[in-house]
Amino acid sequence: MTENLQTATGQLLGTVLAVQANYYRVQVDLADKEDMEDKKANSTLSLPNLLLCTRRTRLKKIGQQVMVGDRVVVAEPDWIGGRGAISEVLPRQSKLNRPAIANVNQILLLFAVMDPPLEPYQLSRFLIKAESTGLNVVLCLNKSDLISQQEQHEISDRLMKWGYQPIFISVRVGINIDKLANQLKDNISVVAGPSGVGKSSFINALIPTANLRVGEVSGKLARGRHTTRHVELFELPNGGLLADTPGFNQPDLDSDPEDLVHSFKEARERLAVAKCRFSNCLHKDEPGCVVRGDWERYLHYLDFLEEAIARQNQLHQQADPESNLKLKIKAQGQNQYEPKLESKKYRRSSRRTQLQELQNLYRDEES
């Protein structure tokens, strides 16, 4: 299915902006809408930009998921009722699982320099998660009006050693909002970052009609409260789409131990110049390693590597039916295991089984 569909067939192309329950809010392509309006030139009907759609039963049967960001074909739209049915999902250019969104080409990572304070370790974790997607990453630091120019220079110099040129903004006083809007133009971008850094306020500044709920920072924990509950795409005034995502403070790292190093820009630069002695080097204590060194985030790498190894071992144990350990709890990134109970040994027999055993015993005694 190509994107040169004819509206004469009763089909339109669109983009899924939001998914709620079993309904999908689809933004109709402008070209298809104008074509349809030309064909209805003699009608006073005003065609809507958005349709509330369901998913065709055929898609359900084949297990075709419809995600926010999907390019879809809407069959036989009901313009008067503003309804439609999604009959096909076009091939995706990219896919994110957390948040669940398709066809994104850019991640806008938003942090605050103050209130809540900037935490390098947390920022590093978000950067690694963003880099693991293979998408373009833009680092933006909000609330820059709360720190001095000298402090901005110090933060900028530090992050440039990580391989990033941050954009300092302030939603409250309007610093560099236009500059960032140009960065988002004609892209499908996802805003990510911890709670309380101003993601919803930032989107409201760019798109006043979004009218997102804004939360406050907890004074006790110096962390933000969650305000976004689901993923939704918003149309930018100058073109492009922007997705807000539920805030979280510690994103899960799901990279394999061998691939983790490629999410660090500093490590990629070292590997571009020279290669480690061993092809399966984990850059921990192997001889001839070109990554190991005194760069600041190397300690972060070692911590994340241990987490990746623990996760890999956990997956192997879950896949191994002979394993005698099971995951008990997962708290603060630490996995704890306890011995599995032999289910056959401790499982109570059903009443039917107990009755059958009594009947067999009775027959044995009579015989």
Please list, in sequence order, all residues whose beta carbon lies within 8 angstroms of the beta carbon of residue 76, skipping any fewer than 6 positions away: 10, 11, 84, 85
Range among 188-197, 201-210, 321-330, 356-365 rated most confident? 188-197
Q: What is the pTM of this model?
A: 0.75
Indicate the pLDDT class of residue 8, thresholds 50, 70 and 90. very low
Q: What is the pLDDT of residue 343?
A: 46
Domain 7-91 fold: OB fold (Dihydrolipoamide Acetyltransferase, E2P) (2.40.50)
For residue 258, pLDDT over 60 is answered with yes
Amino acid making up residue 2: T
Q: pLDDT exceeding 90 applies to what percent of the chain?
A: 52
Looking at per-residue confidence, does 273 or 81 come out higher? 273
Q: Can 101-244 and 260-343 be said to share one CATH topology?
A: no
Q: What is the pLDDT of residue 113?
A: 96
Lowest average pLDDT, out of 18-27, 151-160, 289-298, 339-348, goes to 339-348
* Segments making up each domain of the chain, as ranges: 7-91, 101-244, 260-343
For residue 337, pLDDT over 60 is answered with no
For residue 2, pLDDT over 60 is answered with no
122-153, pLDDT tens digit by residue? Answer: 999 999 999 999 999 999 999 999 999 999 99
Q: From its phi and psi, is residue 247 left (phi > 0), alpha (psi between -120 and 50) or beta?
A: beta
Indicate the pLDDT class of residue 223, thresholds 50, 70 and 90. very low
Yes or no: domain 101-244 corresponds to CATH 3.20.20.370: no
- Please, are residues 51 and 265 in contact by the beta-carbon 8 Å criterion? no
Range among 33-47, 263-277, 333-347 rated most confident? 263-277
Looking at per-residue confidence, does 353 or 160 come out higher? 160
Q: How far is CA 223 from CA 4, 82, 129, 194, in A?
A: 48, 41, 20, 8
Q: What is the pLDDT of residue 156?
A: 97
Indicate the pLDDT class of residue 4, thresholds 50, 70 and 90. very low
The architecture that CATH gives domain 260-343 is Orthogonal Bundle (1.10)
Query: Buried b vs exposed e over 100-120: b needs ≥16 C-beta within 10 Å?
Result: ebbbbebbbbbbbbbbbebee
86-131, pLDDT tens digit by residue? Answer: 999 999 999 988 778 999 999 999 999 998 899 999 999 999 999 9
Q: What is the pLDDT of residue 333?
A: 46
Lowest average pLDDT, out of 144-148, 198-202, 212-216, 261-265, goes to 212-216
